[in-house]
């Protein structure tokens, strides 16, 4: 891996960022130590000035008791000078205390931020490793090729499915042709039966044409033979209806 690749490596970038944060944290902690040291020095100066002022005031009181007013006046003049210095030192100490508190808060927040960033860096590294593994797996899967046996198996399955579809289509066409022929046969049978029933009805009603007969040379009385019953038509729905119609006609003529 070259230097350019190392610079673009996310893990290298994260490590470098954490290192810079740690260095800045160390520098800021050193600045905080210096600020606290100055604050402590101011506290010592304030304490010394307060003690000096107290001593001068005590000495002035002793001089007054001894009747030495001029000495007392000189001591009080010196005390007033120290009082001015003490006031300035107290102001500086108050500002130093505020600064030190702000510095300590900043240091605490910086430490918390460093912990958070460290945890985030670990999570990002883990995600990067997972992504790298997934990329390698995908590359491996993309490199897989179907062997010839698998391809032949797929072709055989496709051929069998095609043959089954063709067989179903041929069976469907065959069933359609057979059904059509059966329907034609049934229609022809029905037409024959209807025609026979119609002829029988015409004969019964006397509508059928009688066949022509030749006259004999000598006429002799002929006795009328009883009508011969026509053969019963085949029992079917049409025959039944014609028989009922015949009965009704016979009843009406009688």
| Calculated CA dihedral for residues 221, 222, 223, 225, nearest 10 degrees | -170
- Coil, strand or helix: which one is 67? coil
Q: How many CA atoms lie less than 13 Å away from 62 in the CB half-sphere?
A: 7
User: Which residue reads 């039966």 in tokens?
Assistant: 193
- What is the CA 143 to chain-centroid distance, rounded? 29
pLDDT in tens, 207-253: 755 454 444 444 444 444 444 444 444 556 656 766 776 677 677 66
| Residue 7 pLDDT greater than 50, yes or no | yes
User: Which residue reads 């985030």 in tokens?
Assistant: 120
| Residue 10 pLDDT greater than 50, yes or no | yes
Comparing CA positions, the residue from 187, 202, 194, 195 lying closest to residue 238 is 194
CA–CA distances in Å: residue 219 to residues 150, 215, 216, 222, 226: 104, 8, 6, 8, 20
In this structure, how many other beta carbons lie within 10 angstroms of the beta carbon of residue 75?
21
């Amino acid at each position: 891996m070259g230097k350019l690749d190392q610079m673009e490596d996310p893990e290298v970038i994260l490590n470098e960022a954490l290192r810079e944060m740690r260095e800045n944290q160390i520098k800021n902690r050193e600045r905080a130590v210096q600020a606290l040291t100055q604050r402590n020095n101011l506290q010592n100066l304030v304490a010394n000035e307060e003690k000096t002022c107290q001593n001068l005031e005590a000495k002035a009181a002793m001089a007054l008791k001894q009747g030495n007013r001029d000495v007392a006046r000189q001591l009080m003049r010196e005390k007033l000078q120290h009082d001015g210095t003490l006031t300035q030192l107290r102001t500086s100490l108050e500002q130093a205390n505020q600064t030190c508190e702000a510095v300590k808060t900043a240091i605490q927040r910086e430490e918390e931020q460093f912990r958070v960033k460290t945890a985030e860096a670990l999570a990002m590294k883990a995600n990067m490793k997972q992504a790298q593994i997934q990329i390698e797996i995908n590359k491996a899967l993309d490199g897989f090729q179907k062997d010839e046996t698998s391809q032949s198996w797929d072709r055989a399955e496709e051929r069998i499915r095609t043959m089954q579809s063709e067989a179903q289509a041929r069976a469907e066409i065959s069933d359609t042709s057979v059904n059509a022929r059966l329907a034609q046969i049934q229609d022809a049978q029905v037409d024959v039966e209807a025609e026979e029933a119609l002829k029988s009805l015409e004969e019964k009603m006397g509508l059928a044409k009688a066949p022509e007969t030749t006259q004999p040379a000598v006429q002799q009385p002929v006795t009328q033979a009883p009508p011969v019953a026509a053969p019963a038509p085949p029992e079917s729905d049409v025959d039944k209806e014609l028989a009922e119609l015949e009965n009704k006609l016979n009843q009406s003529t009688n």
